[in-house]
Structure 1
Amino acid sequence: MTLFLYVILAPFLFAILLFGIGQQNFKRITLLASILPIALFGYFLSLTPTVINGDVLTSFTEWVPSLGINLDFRLDNLALLFSLLITGVGSIVFLYTSQYLKGHPKLLRFYIFLTVFMGAMIGLVTSNNILTLFIFWELTSISSFFLISFNNTEASSRKSAIIALTITGLGGLALLAFAVLAGELTGTYSIAEMLQSPEVFANNAYTSYLILFLFLAAFTKSAQFPFHFWLPGAMKAPTPVSTYLHSATMVKAGIYLLLRFTPHFNGNESFFIILLFVGGFTMLYAAINTLFKTDLKGILAYSTIGALGIIVFLIGIGTAASITAAIVFIVVHALYKASLFLVTGTIDHQAGTRDITKLGGLRKALLPLAIAGFIAALSSGGFPPTIGFIGKDLIYESTLNASINPTLLTTIAVITNIFMVFAGLIVGVKPFSGSKPESLGAIKKPHFILWLMPMLLAALSLIFGLFPQWVEVLFTHQITPLLTSVESPHLAIWHGFNLILLLSAITIISGIIIYFFWKPNHRKEQQIKRIEYLSPRSISLQFAQLFHNTSYFLTRVFQNGYLRRYIMIILVLLTLVFGIHIFINPRIFLSLKDIKALNWNEVVILFMMLISILFTVFTKSRLTAIAGMGVLGYTMCFIFVFYGAPDLAMTQFSIDTLTVILFVLVVYRLPKYLKLSNPTNRIRDGIIATSFGTFLAFTIIEIMNETPVKSTTAFYAENAYLLAKGKNVVNVILVDFRGFDTMIEVSVLSIAAIGVFALLKLHLKKHEK
């Protein structure tokens, strides 16, 4: 389906279009940037009836078929859910940004990165080729890096972006390992076709590795303990970034990955136990941390980690009820958390602070915003009649009917949700209640977009709560059977008086009590920081510092800036390798009968080589040394000619000619004569060079005694023309059979050339030199 492919590629084309508009022109048409996410949301919404009826939209285009990488996209119910969240919340964020960052000198850059990120997320959730999914996965990490470090003049923003990229980059490597291993085991890189090989995931020697790689990818992206610490640091980004990436989309990528591959591991008990443990610990740990934060975005960051832990926890339970609860909670969390982030952004925009100890009484100046925050806080705490209430009930239904210790699981869920009630009230209600501190001064009314966008999201939380059948029809009715092969439970706001209702009441009342009696302040925040050294963040930073110090030491020793030191280290290492091999397993034997008698021309060439080497080593003139090296290179050309390799001779001739010219240009401005090093160094260098040459000669003799294996030679000789249509076997190997090697080499040389060019063009100020 070609239109589907164009829709997926549209954000990247739109980003290029925005780049071409330019910053000055873009200021006048900022709102038009929101057209794309709104149009994409409308497109996916129009496909909803089709997908709900069980149809799956697909698009397949070959990309790199030799590696199994294809533009293979598939829109089923799970992909549709995430696509609607990505484009729906994206539309809200794009509109909100037009006023929140109005007049910012880098506004165009922000929209470009935001658009690329949206496209990467859409590509990720619709990819049916796991290698293509990996490419989009990495693109989300890269684009989020630029968004988190948007305020790049601040060192804290740069550091947070680097930490986020490091952690999610680690997950990206794990995902690549999972993709390659799963593809090799199943014989396909199609995610849908992998389901046809359940034995690979449920009972295989490599299953534990598959689980490890999948979990590393998902846990790093979705901020599960102990990889969670990058998310609070990412709050240095502007509020629209926090709203979009860290509540509704990027952090849900790991959740999507787990949900997508859950059916593959249905027969593996350890898969679900690990999810249950990691998710349960993460949600409880993060929920407790919300008690000690005073920055609104800090509270939201840890409540986000807690919510992600809840979803992982629900997937780990592994029943139809828990999967339904996870799907509903994805929608619940996206709506209330995005709304609360936007409320926080508007408060910061108008009041100039996010410190909860300095906020209060803003309802008079920001009444519409207060209403939006109040509704979002109700959904966050699971108050009726919001969709959050239904989501909380589903969580308790899942834990009460779990197969593993339901009492313990329910207790953990209740404690976590109590703190989530507190966090929602602190962010959505506390800034607007009470009296306004005098330090805030006069608060101006915001542009209507700054309160309308969070109001829309909050209103959806209320509407979906009043009409839960919409969520059921749109998502759970189709997704739960897709993942578990079991019908999903019915969604309703009232199930009568039962234990679940009692637990909900305990949760809400306890959360309200904590809200009124526990007052976050900086003293409590500082007290909890006393044990910060035990946190995964501190341990990771200490390890990073140790790694940095070790790298610095090794660099100072081995990479000291002198080329002769680099060459010396390489030769010493190779000499040790050759020498150890020869002494451990000596197989040096040279039959004089097998050595062909030397011709007079070969004797002449060897004599010329010896003379040129002596001139190069003992001359005091740079130009003479260069000439000696040139003669040595040209004599090698003759050897190639004598032994039937004229193409290599021409290549060697060209390289040596160019090298001589470059050397002459380099030393043109240097003194004419060399200042020779001290005798000790020259003796040392002579020993190293002689030892290396000797052991290399021994190694060559050993190779000559080995029986050559001709299978590789025969393959290239037979297939060079048949497969690559080339008669020069060497060129065919370099360009076709080893094309990727050549491409990488060309890329490395290109990067080096750019670096050299940059250094040549570098103009340092006097104090910088």
Structure 2
Amino acid sequence: MLNDVAGLTLTAMLLPFAGALLAPVVTARLGAGAAWLLALAPLAAFVHFLRFVPEIANGEVVTGGYAWVPSLSLSFSWYLDGLSLTFALLITGIGTLIVLYAGGYLKGHPHHGRFFSFILMFMGAMLGVVVSDSFLMLFVFWELTSITSFLLIGFDHEREASRRAALQALVVTGGGGLLLLAGLFFIWNITGVTQLSLLLHSGELLRQSPFYAAALFLVLGGAFTKSAQFPFHFWLPNAMEAPTPVSAYLHSATMVKAGVYLLMRLNPVMGATPAWEILLPFFGGITLLVGASLAIRQTDLKLMLAYTTVASLGLLVLLTGFGSPYAVEAAVLYLVAHSLFKGALFMVAGIIDHEAGTRDVTRLGGLRAAMPLTFLSALFAAVSMAGLPPFFGFLAKEEIYAALAGPDPRAIVFTGVAIAGNALMFAIAFAVALKPFLGPKVATAKQAHEGPVLLWLGPLVLSILGLCAAIFSGPFHAAVSSPMASAVAGKPEAVTISLVPHLGLPLALSALTVIVGVAIYLGLARARALMVRLLDILGPGPDRGFDHFVAGLVRLSFAVTRFVQNGRLEVYVTFTFFLLALVLLVPPFVYGELPAMPAWPAELRFHEASFFVIALVGVAAVLAARDRLTAIVSLGIQGFAVAVLFLLFGAPDLSFTQFMVETLSVVILALVMTRIRLSPSDHRALPELLIDAPIAIAAGLGFALMLLKSTQVPFDTALTDFFNTYSKVIAHGANVVNVIIVDFRGTDTLGEIAVVMITGLAILALIRIRVVPVAPAQKTVAALKGEGKGKTKGPGQGHGKSQGKELSK
């Protein structure tokens, strides 16, 4: 039974899904005004999670849920600490603004209601990822984010580019999800726990395991694909084919940060190892430089911001794995700052596109007077992204340099990487925020003007929050930053940085970043041209490689399918029994699990030996039969002999079943063979015999070894005792076998009856096949055609022709 708090938390988690169900109906009735009503779902969830801030700030955690399959340690449970609570507040808070923004951005769209449904499902999936405690729940919601993002990215499904981007995102992130699942299985087997709250106390056990490296690589595969780390970064910019509300939400608070969340969550148990502190900074640093450099090349506002998101995700991964005293605090501050300024800037880019008709920065200018609120939002967000005071991005950048700067070569290299990446993002931030609004007015496709309140409310609120969080940094750190940093570090951490200048190396590095960033901004056109030439020299990148990979996979699949699905039943049967023989024979020989060979019975009675001989004679008759009908009857001889053996060894019910099956099999197969008039000859050529015979012998030997091994295992009477005890008491039946079949396994028996019934109907259809008479004139024409081709038919030839004309009455 869930208590009141747990029940409210479960309700808050389900609210976005409830909104998704209602969205099409509400939007059909209210139009764009439905956004105000639908935004109440994430807003209510935000208010609920906000209530936990004082409790989490005091170092406590909130857990809840219920056991689903206790025997397998599977549960539906959640875990709230500083990390998951901050993510939950970002997802629901920014999600509320995104729903309102989508109401204005897609006003009048014929599928507006469907979009609301998709975005709310996406919100619920991401919320489930960050509050999940059980591994199962985490994985289910993890994959649900991939599915819902596929729907959102491909929302404009009539455009090929949208379909390609959606499929690409699904393939990359879905494949990474499978890697994550394997990694979670490794962690489960190493630690024996299936909940994150318990895993946090198993760090030493996991790090000392010989399977730590395998678990780490699998987890990194899931995290890197989801958070677009090099070389999987290409799917994220392509996802800009989605409507701008999706881009703003995807980049600020949801899916792309899921991988970062996972790494932060596992840092206390998988961090502090050489592998962790080498792989994360290395790939994070490359991603930072690649993303920031590719952003310079772009002229589309959304693509410029998308590549800087790739860079920012790389910076977060670098900081999470760096391992220095301030690295965790820097990652926490930058994650929050990035969520605020990037969400605002994407919405600004959408407003410009919506009101001016273009996102090309080279075709924009002079919009400040026409769009003052949008310009203010863009300027505030850009200042934060550039790391300038008095915004929260400044605190994050100072903490980044405090974490990375040091005298050793490793610190020097990554500090240089951070300076280069931040300087490039500085230039992009002001290119997005200043170039469309300042300078002479440029004629655009639409007469630009300020958008409705639904459009400018979101970016204005987020940009102002970035200012307020920096000004009131003390209370903000106590409520958000410090609890989050403590959760990521796995120990109490206190974030104290404020707007008061701290003279030292971090401030000097920050000033150097500003100088380099201003220089890049002033020479942005030349920098863009340089990047274009450089990329032309380097040639196709991972995006084109993905296309080649998919095309090669399709060709390989076609070749494999053509080989194993060639339309010949005998090939299918041969492969099936070949694999069956491998499965039965390889494990006993490889792992030394061969059974002990049974001793020959001391007293073998004459009638028992007789039936063994009859069974062997039946097998010989099957092999010697010259047609299939004789083989079927001979097979029946063997089956009857086995049935008698069952009877002699005390299994009359099994013997009776065997008698019935053999009788019906012989009769039915004989009837079918007679009616469809198959070829009387069934002898295999020598090459076929050399293939089929070893496979048949191997499969038979495998079954024999398996049965022998099974009979030599100590017999467990628990199930037998249960049925003997309760058959009479519960089912009121004296025949234990009948009670098992009819009562304890009633559903299974019903399924078997259904299979028999379907099989009977199929046999009946075969028996009712009749040959359609061919008219004499038709025969003459057919004969003339045959003569015209110079072909004659000997006995038995052309049999397949008449087969093709057999129809059911």
Q: Please indicate the TM-score interval, normalised by the length of the shorter structure.
A: 0.7 to 0.9
* Correspondence for 1:220: 225
1:259 shift after superposition: 1.5
1:71 offset after TM fit, Å?
Answer: 1.9
Partner in structure 1 of residue 464 of structure 2 = 459
2:511 equivalent among 480, 505, 528: 505
- 1:567 aligned residue: 573
Structure-2 residue corresponding to 1:111: 116
SS for the counterpart of 2:39 is: helix
Matches of residues 262-273 of structure 1 in structure 2 within 5 Å?
A: 262-265=267-270, 267-273=272-278
Three-state SS of the structure 2 residue aligned to 1:214 is helix
Q: Aligned pair 1:538/2:544, yes or no? A: yes
Is the 1:62–1:69 Cα contact (8 Å) retained in structure 2?
yes
Change (3 A) 1:476 1:444: closer
TM-score, normalised relative to structure 1: 0.82
Task: Return the offset for 1:530.
Answer: 2.7
Distance 1:282 1:557 in 2: 41
> Are 2:14 and 1:10 equivalent residues in the alignment?
yes
In structure 2, relative to structure 1, the CA distance for the partners of 1:512 and 1:659 (3 Å cut) is: farther
- TM-superposed CA distance for 1:575, in Å, is 7.0
Q: Aligned partners of 2:364 and 2:641: how far apart in 1?
A: 80
- Superposition pairs for residues 47-196 of structure 1, below 5 Å? 47-196=52-201
Q: Is the 8 A contact 1:717 1:729 kept in 2?
A: no
Provide, for residues 453-503 of structure 1, a one-character-per-residue CA deviation record: whole Å limited to 9, x for no partner: 111111112222322224312222333334433543412112244333232
1:657-683 per-position Cα deviation (integer Å, ceiling 9, x unaligned): 89999999xx99xx9755759999888
- Measure how far apart 1:87 and its partner are: 0.4
> How far does residue 641 in structure 1 lie from its aligned partner after superposition?
7.3
Task: Show the counterpart of 1:646.
Answer: 653
In the alignment, is the contact (CA less than 8 A) between 1:613 and 1:629 conserved in 2? Answer: no
Matched with 1:449 is 454
1:709 aligned residue (708, 712, 719): 712
**How far did residue 334 of structure 1 move?**
0.3
Residues 378-419 of structure 1: per-residue CA shift (max 9 Å, x gap): 111112211111111111111125876333222221111100
Q: How does 1:387-406 map to 2 (within 5 A)?
A: 387-401=392-406, 405-406=410-411
Is the contact between residue 466 and residue 493 of structure 1 (CA under 8 Å) also seen in structure 2? yes
Q: Once the two structures are superposed, what CA deviation does each residue of 1:21-52 show, in whole Å capped at 9, x if it has no partner? A: 37734647343111101111111122222222
| CA-CA distance at 1:557 after TM superposition | 1.7
Q: 1:244 is matched with which residue?
A: 249
Report the more deviating stretch, 82-91 or 236-245.
Answer: 236-245
| Letter of the 1:426 counterpart | A
8 Å Cα contact 1:138/1:169 also seen in 2 = yes
CA drift of 1:729 comes to 8.6
> Cα offset for 1:547?
2.7
In structure 2, how many angstroms separate the alpha carbons of the residues matched to 1:656 and 1:346? 78
Q: Give the alignment partner of residue 306 of structure 2, picking from 301, 324, 344.
A: 301
Deviation per CA, 1:724-761, whole angstroms, max 9, x where unpaired? Answer: 99997999899999x9xx9xx99xx9xxxxxxxxxxxx
Q: Which whole-Å deviations, capped at 9, do the CAs of 1:41-90 have from their partners, x for residues lacking one?
A: 11112222222223322213111212211122122121111111010110
If you compute each CA radius of gyration, which structure gives the higher value, 1 or 2?
A: 2
Please list, as runs of the form range in 1=range in 2, the aligned pairs for 1:355-754 lying within 5 A after superposition: 355-401=360-406, 405-438=410-443, 440-484=445-489, 485=491, 487-519=493-525, 527-531=533-537, 533=539, 535-571=541-577, 597=607, 618=628, 642=647, 644=651, 646=653, 673=676, 676=679, 692-699=695-702, 708-711=711-714, 714=717, 716-717=719-720
Answer whether contact 1:616 1:629 (CA < 8 A) is retained. no
Moved more, 317-326 or 708-717: 708-717
Once the 2 structures are TM-superposed, how far is the Cα of residue 161 of structure 1 from its aligned partner? 2.0
Change (3 A) 1:523 1:512: closer
Distance in 2 (alpha carbons) for counterparts of 1:187 and 1:6: 26
219-228 or 332-341, which deviates more: 219-228
Counterpart CA distance in 1 for 2:738 and 2:531 is 67
1:632 and 1:530, CA in 2 relative to 1: closer, same or farther beyond 3 A?
Answer: farther
Which AA in structure 1 matches 2:653? P
Give the Cα–Cα distance (whole angstroms) in 1 for the partners of residues 79 and 666 of structure 2: 54
Structure 1, unaligned stretches of length 5 or more? Answer: 750-769
Tell me the CA shift for residue 649 of structure 1: 6.4
Rounded to whole Å, the distance in 1 between the matches of 2:634 and 2:130 is: 58
CA distance in 2, matches of 1:194, 1:132: 15
- 2:208 maps to 203
Q: Look up the SS of the partner of 1:227 in the other structure.
A: coil
Deviates more, 1:362-371 or 1:38-47: 362-371
User: Match of 1:321?
Assistant: 326
For the Cα contact (< 8 Å) 1:120–1:137, is it kept in 2? yes
Return 439-448 or 171-180, whichever deviates more. Answer: 439-448
Residues 600 and 276 from structure 1, CA distance in 2 versus in 1: closer, same or farther, beyond 3 angstroms? closer
Cα offset for 1:588?
10
TM score, norm. by length of structure 2: 0.79
Pair 1:336 & 2:341 matched: yes
Contact 2:34–2:103 (CA under 8 A) maintained in structure 1:
no
**Cα distance in structure 1, aligned partners of 2:654 and 2:624:** 28
Let me know the Cα RMSD of the aligned residues.
4.6
One-letter code aligned to 1:18: L
Count, aligned residues: 735
Structure-1 separation of matches of 2:281 and 2:8: 36
After superposition, the C-alpha distances for 1:487-546 in whole angstroms (9 at most, x for unaligned) are 434121122443332322222232122112222799667545535655333334433332
| 1:567-620 Cα deviation digits (max 9, x unpaired) | 24334566789999999999999969769736999999999999999999547x
Alpha-carbon contact 1:320-1:487 (below 8 Å) kept: no
Give the Cα separation in 2 of the matches to 1:307 and 1:651. 69
Supply the distance in 2 between the matched residues of 1:173 and 1:23 (Cα, whole angstroms). 36
Give the SS at the match of 1:519.
helix
C-alpha deviation, 1:190, in angstroms: 2.6
Q: Which secondary structure state, in structure 2, belongs to the residue aligned with residue 440 of structure 1?
A: coil
Kept in 2, the 8 Å contact 1:612–1:631? The answer is no
Change in 2 beyond 3 A, CA 1:526/1:700 = same
Give the 3-state SS of the residue equivalent to 2:75 in structure 1.
strand
Instruction: Note if contact 2:154-2:162 (Cα within 8 Å) is conserved in structure 1.
Output: yes
Give the direction of change, closer, same or farther, for the CA distance of 1:69–1:616 in structure 2 (3 Å limit): farther
Residue identity opposite 2:313 in structure 1: L
Aligned to 1:260: 265
Cα distance between partner residues in 2 of 1:341 and 1:735: 62
Q: Contact between 1:320 and 1:486, CA under 8 Å: does it hold in 2?
A: no
Structure 2: runs of 5 or more not aligned: 756-809
Q: Distance in 2 between matches of 1:124 and 1:448?
A: 31
- Relative to structure 1, the CA distance from residue 407 to residue 173 in structure 2 (aligned partners, 3 Å threshold; closer, same or farther) is same
**Compared with structure 1, are the counterparts of its residues 531 and 66 closer, same or farther at alpha carbon in structure 2 (3 Å cutoff)?**
farther
| Alpha-carbon separation, structure 1, partners of 2:48 and 2:721 | 53
User: CA contact under 8 A between 1:640 and 1:649: conserved in structure 2?
Assistant: no
Amino acid across the alignment from 1:556: R
